[in-house]
Amino acid sequence: MAQTKLTVNGKAYTVDVDPEMPLLWAIRDFVGLKGTKFGCGMAQCGACTVHLNGTPIRSCSTPVSVVKGQKITTIEGIGTPDHLHAVQQAWIDEQVTQCGYCQSGQIMSAVALLKEKPKPTDEDIDLYMQGNICRCGTYQRVRKAIHRAAESVQNTSAPTGKKTASLER
Amino acid sequence: MKTSAINRRNFLKTGGSASVLLALGFSVPAHSEEVLLHKIPQNTLGLEFSPYILIDDTGKITILNPRPDMGQGTYQSMPALVAEELEVSMDQIHISQTNGQGKYGSQLSGGSSSVRTRWMPMRKAGAAVKEMLIQAAANKWQVSSEECYAKEARVFHKPSGKSFTYAELVGDASKLDVPKNPKLKDPKDFKLLGKSMPKPDVPLKVTGTAEFGIDVDLPGMLYASIERCPAIHGKVVSFDGAAALKVPSVKNVLKAERAMPHKTVETVAVLATSYWAALQGRKKLKIKWAAVDNNTLSTEKFSAQMHELAKQEGHDFEGNQGDFAKAYGEAAKKIQATYETPFAAHAAMEPVNATVWVKDDSVEIWAPVQGPDGTIGELSQYLGLKPEQVKVNVTFLGGAFGRKAYLDFVKEAAYLSKQAKAPVKLIWTREDDMTQGPYRPAMLSVLEGGIDANGKVTALHHKIISESIQKQVFKANITGKADGWAEEGVGAKDSPMAIPNIRRSYLNASTDLPILWWRSVYASTNVFGHESFVDELAHAAGKDPLDLRLELFKDSPRFVKVLETVAEKSGYREKLPAGKARGLAIARSFSTICAHVFTVAKTADGIKIEKVVSVIDCGMTVNPDNIKAQTESNLVYGLTAALKSPIVFADGAVQQSNFHNYPVLRINEIPQMEVHIIENQEAPGGVGEPGLPPVAPALANALFNLTGKRQRKFPLELV
Cis peptide leading into B715, omega within 30 of 0?
yes
Q: Do B666 and A139 touch (CB under 8 A)?
A: yes
For B151, other C-beta atoms within 10 Å of its C-beta total 12
Grade residue B21 by pLDDT with cuts at 50, 70 and 90: low
The whole-angstrom separation of Cα B680 and Cα B448 is: 36
Picking from A45, A99, A123 by the largest number of B CB atoms within 10 A of its own CB, the best residue to mutate is A99
B chain contacts of residue A125, beta-carbon cutoff 8 Å = 667
With respect to residue B556, please indicate whether it lies within any of the assigned structural domains. Answer: yes
B672 contacts in chain A (CB < 8 Å): 140
Rounded to whole angstroms, how far apart are CA atoms B131 and B524? Answer: 44
| pLDDT confidence bin for B13, thresholds 50/70/90 | very low
Q: Does residue B397 sit in the same domain as residue B502?
A: no
What is the Cα–Cα distance from A10 to B170, expressed in whole angstroms? Answer: 47
pLDDT tens-digit readout, B425-482: 999 999 999 999 999 999 999 999 999 999 999 999 999 999 999 999 999 999 999 9
> For position B617, what pLDDT does the model report?
98
- Select the residue of B198, B212, B276 nearest A92 (Cβ to Cβ): B198
What is the residue range of B58's domain? Answer: 9-193
Binding-face residues of A in 84-113 toward B, CB within 8 A: 84, 88, 91-92, 95-104, 107
CB contact residues (below 8 A), chain A span 115-134, against chain B: 125-127, 129-130, 132-134
B220 lies within 8 A of chain A by CB: no
Q: Would B46 be classed as within a structural domain?
A: yes
Is residue B218 in a domain? yes
Domain shared by B509 and B374, yes or no: no
E strands, chain A, where? 2-8, 11-17, 49-52, 55-58, 71-73
- List the single best residue of A136, A138, A139 to mutate versus B (max B Cβ within 10 A): A136
Summarised one tens digit per residue, pLDDT across range B274-300 is 999 999 999 999 999 997 765 668 999
Do residues B566 and B626 share a domain? yes
**Nearest Cβ partner for A137 among B70, B348, B636:** B636
B288/B304 same-domain check: no
Q: Which residue of A has its CA nearest to B668?
A: A126
Distance from CA of A24 to the nearest CA of B (A): 10
Q: What's the pLDDT score for residue B50?
A: 32
Please check whether residues B331 and B368 belong to one and the same domain.
no
Domain match, B681 and B633 both: yes
What are the pLDDT digits (tens) for B241-257? 999 999 999 999 999 99
- List per-block mean pLDDT (blocks of 10 residues) for chain A, which spans 169 residues: 94 96 98 98 98 98 95 97 96 98 98 97 98 98 98 68 42
Among A38, A104, A137, select the one facing B637 at the smallest CB separation: A137
B633/A contact by beta carbon, under 8 A: yes
CA-nearest residue to B433 within chain A is A40
pLDDT band at B11 (very low <50, low <70, confident <90, very high): very low
Residue B345: list chain A partners with CB under 8 A.
Answer: none
* CA nearest to B352 within chain A: A39
Residue B59: its pLDDT value, please?
A: 82
How many CB atoms are closer than 10 A to CB A69?
Answer: 10
For residue A44, the chain B residues in CB contact (below 8 A) are 658-660
Find residues 18-77 of chain A whose CB sits inside 8 Å of chain B: 18, 21-22, 25, 28-30, 32-42, 44-45, 47, 74-76
pLDDT at B22: 60
Read off the amino acid at residue B183: K
Residue B497 has pLDDT above 90, yes or no: yes
Within a domain: residue B1? no
| Closest Cβ opposite residue A25 in set B201, B274, B635 | B274
* Digit-coded pLDDT (tens) for B173-225: 888 888 888 999 999 999 999 999 999 999 999 999 999 999 999 999 999 99
Of B162, B193, B224, the residue at which a domain comes to its end is B193
The answer to whether residue B626 neighbours chain A at the CB level (below 8 Å) is yes
Whether residue B289 lies inside any domain: the answer is yes
Residue in chain B nearest A141 by alpha carbon: B629
Percentage of chain B exceeding pLDDT 90: 87
Same domain membership, residue B469 and residue B445: yes
**B719 assigned to some structural domain:** no
**B427, B451, B486 - which closes a domain:** B427
Best mutation target, A8, A27, A40, to test chain B (most B CBs within 10 A):
A40
Q: What is the DSSP letter of B713?
A: B
Nearest to B198 among A103, A143, A167 (CB): A167
Q: Is the same domain home to B217 and B325?
A: no
A5 to chain B nearest CA, in Å? Answer: 18
Within a domain: residue B207?
no
H-run or E-run covering B242: helix B242-246
Domains and CATH numbers, chain A: 2-77 (3.10.20.30), 86-156 (1.10.150.120)
Surface-to-core class of residue B710, CB atoms within 10 Å of its CB (0-12 exposed, 13-18 middle, 19+ buried): middle
- How far off is chain B from A62, nearest CA to CA, in Å? 13
**Contact yes or no for A40 and B659 at CB 8 A:** yes
Terminal-to-terminal C-alpha distance of chain B: 46
Q: What is the secondary structure of B573-619 as a DSSP string?
A: TSPPPTTEEEEEEEEEETTEEEEEEEEEEEETTEEEEEEEEEEEE-S
Over residues B700-715, the mean pLDDT reads 98
The pLDDT value recorded for residue B51 is 59
pLDDT 10s digits, B618-645: 999 999 999 999 999 999 999 999 999 9
Helix (H) or strand (E) holding B696: helix B695-707
Q: End-to-end alpha-carbon separation of chain A, Å?
A: 53
Helix %, strand %, coil % for chain B, to 5?
30, 25, 45
B288, B237 Cβ separation under 8 angstroms: yes
Report the C-alpha gap between A26 and A29 in whole angstroms: 6
**pLDDT per residue over B638-691, tens digit each?**
999 999 999 999 999 999 999 999 999 999 999 999 999 999 999 999 999 999
Q: Does B661 touch chain A (CB under 8 A)?
A: no
Q: Are residues B587 and B537 in the same domain?
A: yes
Which tens digit of pLDDT belongs to each residue from B584-617? 999 999 999 999 999 999 999 999 999 999 999 9
pLDDT value of residue B23: 61
Q: Are residues B180 and B54 in the same domain?
A: yes
* Tally of domains within chain B: 3
Contact state of B205 with A137 under an 8 Å Cβ cutoff: no
Q: Does residue B622 form part of some domain?
A: yes
Strands B606-617 and B672-677: parallel
Helix (H, G, I), strand (E, B) or coil at B644: coil
Query: Predicted confidence band at B43 (pLDDT cuts at 50, 70, 90)?
Result: very low
Asked if residue B287 and residue B306 are part of one domain, the reply reads no
pLDDT for position B14: 28
Rounded distance, CA B114 to CA B2, Å? 12
Instruction: Nearest by CB to B667, from A41, A130, A163: name it.
Output: A130
Please report the residues numbered 336 through 355 in chain B whose beta carbons come closer than 8 angstroms to any beta carbon of chain A. 347-351
Complex ipTM value:
0.94
Residues of A in contact with B398 (CB under 8 A): 37, 99-102
User: B392: closest CA among B653, B383, B401?
Assistant: B383
Size of interface A-B (CB pairs under 8 A): 203
- CATH number for position B56: 3.30.365.10
Q: Do B219 and B323 sit in the same domain of this protein?
A: no
**A12 and B CB contact within 8 Å:** no
- The structure's pTM equals 0.94
Helices (H), B542-574: 545-552, 557-570
With a cut of 60, say whether residue B18 has pLDDT above it: no
CA distance to partner chain B, nearest, from residue A100 (Å): 5
pLDDT at B24: 55
Q: Chain A residues with CB inside 8 Å of B212's CB?
A: 34, 37, 101
